[in-house]
A = this chain, B = another copy of it.
Amino acid sequence: MATIKDVASDAGVAVGTVSKVLNGQHVSAENKRKVEESVLRLGYQMDHYARGLKTRCTYTIAVIIPGIQNPFFSELVYHMEQELYRRGYKMYLCQSHQDPEKEADYLRLVCQNKVDGILGITFNETAAQLPDSIPMVMIDRHISDKICCVSSDNFQGGCLAAERLIAGGSSSLLFIRSGSNLSSETLKRGKGFEAMCREKKVPYAMLDVGDDTDFFNGEAIYGCLKERIHGGKPAFDGIYTSTDGLALIVQEQLVRLGIRVPEDAQLIGHDGLRKMYKKEYLVSSIAQPIAEMAKVSVEQVIKRIHKEPTEEMVTLPVTFVEGGTTRPPVSTGEDGRPWGR
């Protein structure tokens, strides 16, 4: 079996240089290449376990998400992996499917010294049971003042959506949300929406379809929308949904009900997802800065690992993006209310 000395001799570098490369420290690109080639050629095996007993570091972060097939999570993980790699960390990918048992199982990895930290989007109370000493950053959920939460500005997103619907000429708004009811940063989307409707004195309704599985086939949404149509005329002409996925389902049901988007009703989603393989957005939306959220989460968890001070809460700005389901803003009268429809 090859030793570190064999690698150094084969690569024509010092043993210290080999050690640096193996530990992810900086050496010249040329030396890095030489060492890596020799490591592969000789089949050198660094003793990960002997090293771990000494350093107690794995240079591994567990990323816990509900499921990677959701395009919001796949984009987040896409950026997290690159940011972690750039900093010399590897990533465990853990899909919880919102199953408390599976979440607990993955969180236990840390207690077994298998990872140095956790980046999580969890929906159960399991994470709160972990010792405070474990470096953890949560996305969109503020569960304890000891765990850093990275989020985009959900309240401002809700405000922006209502403001944009009103500016586009809508005068009776509807908010629809779905998903877990656990205290989460994303619930602020609805609160921001309400605040702006009140400020602008525009009537609105709030609709929560929760975790209802019927919503996936659109039936629950269809029923809720139909209830709000009287004599062929909908009681709403502007809708904001808690996610882009939900906006797509709502759009489909509006078409089914003969309501044209954006002519009869404008529609704004949340997340800022793009069409598969294309640059255009799925629907008009409140876009989250996904790459920036990934970068900041990685920064914060690595600071926690190194016992440096971290933020309790990082809130990144959101923007409105046009995706064909809203009308251009119309002029507003002196009282700030839209006119000219």
Contact = CB atoms under 8 A, between A and B. Distances in A.
Given A45-B112, A53-B49, A248-B277, A93 B95 contact: no
A114 interface: yes
B81 A113 contact: no
A275 B43 CA distance: 44
A27 to B, nearest CB: 14
B69 A75 contact: yes
Chain A interface size band reads 35 or more
Interface in A17-59: 22, 33, 36, 39-41, 43-50, 52-53, 58
Interface string A89-124: 011111100000110110111011110000000000
A68 B84 CA distance: 15
21 contacts: A22-B112, A33-B101, A36-B105, A39-B108, A39-B111, A40-B111, A43-B111, A48-B112, A49-B52, A50-B53, A53-B53, A63-B93, A68-B68, A71-B74, A71-B276, A74-B74, A81-B93, A81-B95, A90-B94, A91-B93, A93-B93
Interface of A: 22, 33, 36, 39-41, 43-50, 52-53, 58, 60, 63, 67-69, 71, 74-75, 77-78, 81-82, 85, 90-95, 101-102, 104-105, 107-109, 111-114, 126, 129-131, 245, 248-249, 273, 275-278, 282
